[in-house]
Structure 1
Amino acid sequence: MSEREPFRIQVKVRHYELDTLGHLNHAVYHSYGEVARIEAMEQASGGRDNLRTENLSGVLLESHIVYRQEIRGGDVVEVTAEFEFGDGKVFHATHQICKLDGTLAAEITCTLGLMDLERRKLVDDPRGRLERAGFDLKVLTTSD
């Protein structure tokens, strides 16, 4: 078991992101997960756009959320991003959205792939493709 921590970023909830009950709108939770995924991928790439030079792009195939606690305007939350690679064309990301006191507010699980932008098809071995593109997978995953 690794002692590395998952990637994390803090986000302040803006009032225009709230629903009529004063809670964070359901769609915004997914946006926060996307912010964490994009920031993690950017950090792992070292700020280089190597996927584009290989004519690849990450694609979101599925997203599922479980709401645990309400989030309200003005709250600051921490969003984690942890990627898991296996065999095949897809990989997974999990996100925890926590209040600063550590309260788990939501969990998001996503299925992702890397798409060949010419063929419009998912490529095999996304982990290997990311490594070959110069990504530091230690930023994306805590497993070795």
Structure 2
Amino acid sequence: MTEREPFRTRIKVRHYELDTLGHLNHAVYHSYGEVARLELFEQSGALAGLKNLASVLLESHIVFRRELRAGDVVDVTCDAKFGSGKTFSMDSKILKLDGTLAAEITCTLGLMDLERRKLVEDPRGRFAEAGADLKLLSTSEGD
């Protein structure tokens, strides 16, 4: 059995995203992770299928490995990991096209009931009920 690759999206570093040192501003790395999460939710069908529920970011942690500069093109991966309870995690890697790891992001999320303003139980089950492609959302899902 071969290991599946996580979802990925490509982003080009723009000049206005740089800090005074000439490399990508630290906050923009988080934005790139958010772009990958939203693209994954959209492509998996999760956004269209979740009625009165929305993902909410509860925690985000980043480890910076290599600088990114204007004109660099990166792939940003995203992979969900579901457990029990109300939260799940999504891990991202920001990779230069030559495979160099620029940053790693780990996030904790939940699905919020938009009327009750509370997290719901079993986010994986809710995604499944919404018709989301669980294999696209998570490489941990069986073949």
Identify whether the pair has TM-score above 0.5, normalized to the shorter chain.
yes
> 1:142 is aligned with what amino acid?
T
Secondary structure class of the residue paired with 2:4: coil
> 1:133 is aligned with what amino acid?
A
Find the aligned partners of 2:135 and 2:19 in 1 and give their Cα distance.
Answer: 37
> Mind listing any 5+ residue stretches in structure 1 that lack a counterpart?
none
1:117 has 2:114 as partner: yes
Question: Cα deviations across residues 49-81 of structure 1 (Å, max 9, x unaligned)?
Answer: 221xx2100000000000000000000001000
Aligned match of 1:76 = 73
1:63 has 2:60 as partner: yes
Q: Is the 8 A contact 1:2 1:142 kept in 2?
A: no
> 2:134 is aligned with what amino acid?
L
Aligned match of 2:89 = 92
Find the aligned partners of 1:70 and 1:64 in 2 and give their Cα distance.
Answer: 17
Of residues 125, 128, 131 in structure 1, which corresponds to 2:125? 128
Moved over 4 A (4+): none
Alignment of structure 1 residues 22-41 onto 2, 5 Å: 22-41=22-41
Q: Structure 1 pair 2/59, CA: closer, same or farther in 2 (3 Å)? A: farther
Find the aligned partners of 1:10 and 1:66 in 2 and give their Cα distance.
Answer: 20
Find the aligned partners of 1:63 and 1:32 in 2 and give their Cα distance.
Answer: 12
Aligned match of 1:49 = 48
Secondary structure class of the residue paired with 2:20: coil
Tell me the C-alpha RMSD between the 2 structures.
1.2
Find the aligned partners of 1:111 and 1:3 in 2 and give their Cα distance.
Answer: 23
> Mind listing any 5+ residue stretches in structure 2 that lack a counterpart?
none
Deviation at residue 2 of structure 1 after TM alignment: 5.5
1:21 has 2:18 as partner: no
Aligned match of 1:8 = 8
Aligned pair count? 141
